[in-house]
């Protein structure tokens, strides 16, 4: 769904003002008369693509699905601590998702103020789409909060005997820290959403300053509020949110890398400490999204410094993953391909964060396509690749069948090439000064003319990317029905989720005891007694 929206966006950017082929007539005359996307609709697509991808796509999949499924299995717990809470979390998610998607069909359409929903624009947006967005967000935040509580309790309380903290698989650590981020970062946005809802429905002015005049007429509101306040509240959530998207991905990649190199994770403890550092620091970098709102030297120096510091634990984790490959015996399985590609792709995303995190170099780059390229490298060939890796890796655990390798490899190669063709030119466009969120992709501006032609290959790559996902979808459903039968532990893994569940599960060793000198097999599962 989120991806469909962006395919329409990419059509509009490559061919502004041309009718969208085939599906253009489905959008209705209010959005796209004759199949031509109107700015109103374009802005809805932009805002909802971001919202859906983050809050309905990646978070539920990375945290909700992978976390709920794997945490109890990996720590040897019978189930999550609070099954009913889990169900409530799911129903909140369903309600939030339904509200979000239904908002496309209300008069005026869905929210169209960017996923950041900056007031006064969002406060004053006509129609009810923005209000639906706020209600949907409130549901989704509650869903995440309940899930986070459940994760924390489960990890603290329900570890199997012998599963000490430093015997936890890295994936569990990543989910554990993520749960704290969700718990601490989401409530401010829920509060902010309620305040914005009050502004929209009850005539308050939390985010509306005095003296506003819209369309040449003074606005009849009390005023006295602060538009900047929303930005602080929003980014106080949304920066930790970035790590909510990233940490589970790192967890998945670490599991798959160590399994497919047949050796322990290099620097496991330091990586865990780095997770703690990331979790803590992610709360004190939020204003690097706001350098250009009028920040003095002292405040900007603080946020630039914290931003540079937060890059260090990411560097530690990423370089540990690379160094982990050294000395391994690398199996290039389909999940491993995705996990390996994650490393340089995430690296590009991380490195391009540097010039954005420094206030001075943020001046030319802020709100340009460079930013869009930066965070897409983190979440698309970064996080989403990790999720694909996870699906290919744990599919046999879930279904008892293997996914098809050939289809998986086609899916991998096609996705890798297409994603780079889509996102790499964004850096070129951004450096040339092309802003984001432009209905015509910047065609209005002289400085954009030299790089506009890049939009055509980028968009073609986006359509091709959609095509290559068919291989995945077909693979998923065909393997479910007719995939090769999987052995109980098809990857010869050490962690508990691959071992037959017994009530007397006990843990005897560290999570990744691969290629232990003198052992008979190249892996020693966590639950086997010493030298059994």
Partner 1 sequence: MLQWLGLPAAASAHAGDVDRTLALVHWLMLVLFAGWGLFFLYVLVRFHRRAHPVASYHGLRGRWSTWLEGGVLAAEIALLAFFSIPVWSARVDAFPPERGSTVVRVVAEQFAWNVHYPGPDGRFGRTDISLLGPANPLGLDRTDPAARDDVTTINQLHLPVDRPVIVYLSSKDMVHSFTLPQMRVKQDVVPGVAQPVWFTPTRTGAWEIACSQLCGLGHYRMRGFYTIETQAAYDAWLAEEAAELAQ
**Which helix (DSSP H) or strand (DSSP E) does residue 217 occupy?**
strand 217-218
- From candidates 431, 460, 464, 478, binder to partner 1 by CB under 8 A: 431
Interstrand relation of 213-214 and 217-218 (parallel, antiparallel or unpaired) = antiparallel
Rg over CA atoms, the chain: 24
Single out the segment in contact with partner 1 by CB under 8 A; choices: 194-202, 300-308, 380-388, 500-508: 300-308
Single out the segment in contact with partner 1 by CB under 8 A; choices: 88-96, 235-243, 294-302, 404-412: 294-302
Q: Between residues 244 and 365, which has the closer beta carbon with respect to partner 1? A: 365
- From candidates 187, 232, 262, 400, binder to partner 1 by CB under 8 A: 262
- For residue 280, the minimal CB distance to partner 1 (Å) is 17
Q: Between residues 128 and 324, which has the closer beta carbon with respect to partner 1? A: 324
Dihedral over alpha carbons 28, 33, 35, 40 (to 10 degrees): -80
Q: Between residues 293 and 406, which has the closer beta carbon with respect to partner 1? A: 293
SS3 101: helix
Residue 435 in the binding site for partner 1 (CB under 8 A): yes
How many residues can be counted in the chain?
532
CB atoms within 10 A of CB 292: 12
- From candidates 162, 187, 328, 457, binder to partner 1 by CB under 8 A: 328
Find the binding residues for partner 1 in span 364-383 (CB under 8 A).
364-368
Residue 266 in the binding site for partner 1 (CB under 8 A): yes
Tokens representing 448 are 């954009």
SS3 269: helix
- From candidates 54, 62, 340, 379, binder to partner 1 by CB under 8 A: 340
**Start-to-end Cα distance in the chain:** 50
Residues 6+ apart with CB under 8 A from 311: 350, 353, 354, 357
SS3 103: helix
Single out the segment in contact with partner 1 by CB under 8 A; choices: 136-144, 189-197, 433-441, 497-505: 433-441
Find the binding residues for partner 1 in span 12-71 (CB under 8 A).
39-40, 43
- From candidates 18, 210, 406, 449, binder to partner 1 by CB under 8 A: 210
Cβ atoms of 233 and 303 within 8 Å: the answer is: no
Residue 269 in the binding site for partner 1 (CB under 8 A): no
Residue 232 in the binding site for partner 1 (CB under 8 A): no
Single out the segment in contact with partner 1 by CB under 8 A; choices: 179-187, 216-224, 377-385, 483-491: 216-224
The C-alpha atoms of residue 1 and residue 11 are separated, in whole angstroms, by: 16
Question: Which residue spans within 445-516 are E strands per DSSP?
Answer: none
Q: What is the contact mask toward partner 1 in residues 118 to 157, using x (rule: CB under 8 A)?
A: xxxx--x---------------------------------
């Amino acid at each position: 769904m989120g991806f469909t929206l962006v395919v329409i966006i990419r059509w509009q950017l490559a061919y502004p003002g041309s009718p969208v082929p085939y599906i253009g007539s489905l959008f209705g005359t209010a959005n796209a008369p004759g199949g031509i996307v109107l700015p109103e609709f374009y802005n809805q697509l932009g805002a909802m693509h971001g919202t859906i991808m983050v809050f309905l796509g990646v978070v539920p999949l990375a945290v909700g699905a992978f976390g709920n499924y794997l945490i109890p299995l990996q720590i040897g717990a019978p189930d999550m601590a609070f099954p009913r809470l889990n169900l409530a979390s799911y129903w909140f998610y369903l309600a939030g998702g339904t509200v979000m998607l239904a908002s496309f069909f209300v008069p005026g359409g869905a929210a169209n103020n960017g996923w950041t929903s900056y007031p006064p624009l969002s406060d004053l947006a006509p129609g009810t789409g923005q209000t639906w967005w706020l209600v949907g967000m409130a549901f989704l935040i509650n869903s995440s909060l309940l899930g986070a509580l459940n994760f924390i309790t489960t990890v603290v309380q329900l570890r199997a005997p012998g599963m000490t903290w430093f015997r936890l698989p890295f994936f569990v650590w990543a989910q554990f820290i993520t749960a704290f981020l969700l718990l601490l970062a989401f409530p401010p946005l829920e509060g902010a959403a309620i305040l914005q809802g009050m502004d929209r429905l009850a005539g308050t002015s939390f985010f509306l300053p005095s003296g506003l005049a819209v369309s040449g007429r003074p606005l009849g509101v009390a005023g006295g509020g602060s538009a900047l306040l929303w930005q602080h509240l929003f980014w106080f959530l949304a920066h930790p949110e970035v790590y909510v998207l990233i940490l589970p991905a790192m967890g998945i990649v670490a599991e798959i890398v160590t399994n497919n190199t047949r050796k322990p994770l290099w620097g496991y403890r330091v990586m865990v400490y780095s997770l703690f550092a990331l979790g803590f620091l992610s709360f004190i970098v939020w204003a690097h999204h706001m350098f250009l709102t009028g920040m003095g030297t002292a405040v900007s120096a603080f946020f630039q410094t914290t931003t540079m510091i937060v890059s260090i634990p990411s560097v530690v984790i990423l370089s540990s993953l690379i160094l982990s490959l050294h000395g391994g015996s690398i199996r290039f399985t389909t999940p491993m391909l995705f996990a390996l590609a994650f490393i340089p792709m995430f690296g590009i995303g991380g490195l391009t964060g540097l010039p954005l995190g420094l206030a001075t170099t943020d001046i030319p780059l802020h709100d340009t396509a460079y930013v869009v390229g930066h965070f897409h490298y983190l979440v698309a060939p970064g996080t989403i690749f990790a999720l694909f890796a996870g699906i290919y890796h744990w599919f046999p655990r879930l279904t008892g069948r293997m996914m098809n390798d050939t289809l998986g490899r086609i899916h991998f190669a096609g996705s890798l090439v297409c994603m780079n063709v889509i996102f790499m030119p964004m850096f070129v466009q951004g450096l040339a000064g092309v802003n984001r969120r432009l209905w015509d992709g910047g065609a209005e501006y002289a400085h954009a003319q030299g790089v506009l032609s890049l939009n055509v290959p980028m968009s073609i790559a986006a359509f091709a990317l959609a095509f290559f996902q068919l291989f995945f979808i077909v693979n998923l459903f065909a393997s479910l029905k007719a995939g090769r039968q999987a052995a109980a532990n098809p990857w010869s893994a050490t962690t508990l989720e691959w071992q037959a569940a017994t009530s007397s599960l006990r843990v005897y060793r560290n999570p990744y005891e691969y290629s232990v000198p003198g052992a008979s097999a190249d892996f020693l599962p966590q639950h086997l007694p010493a030298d059994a």
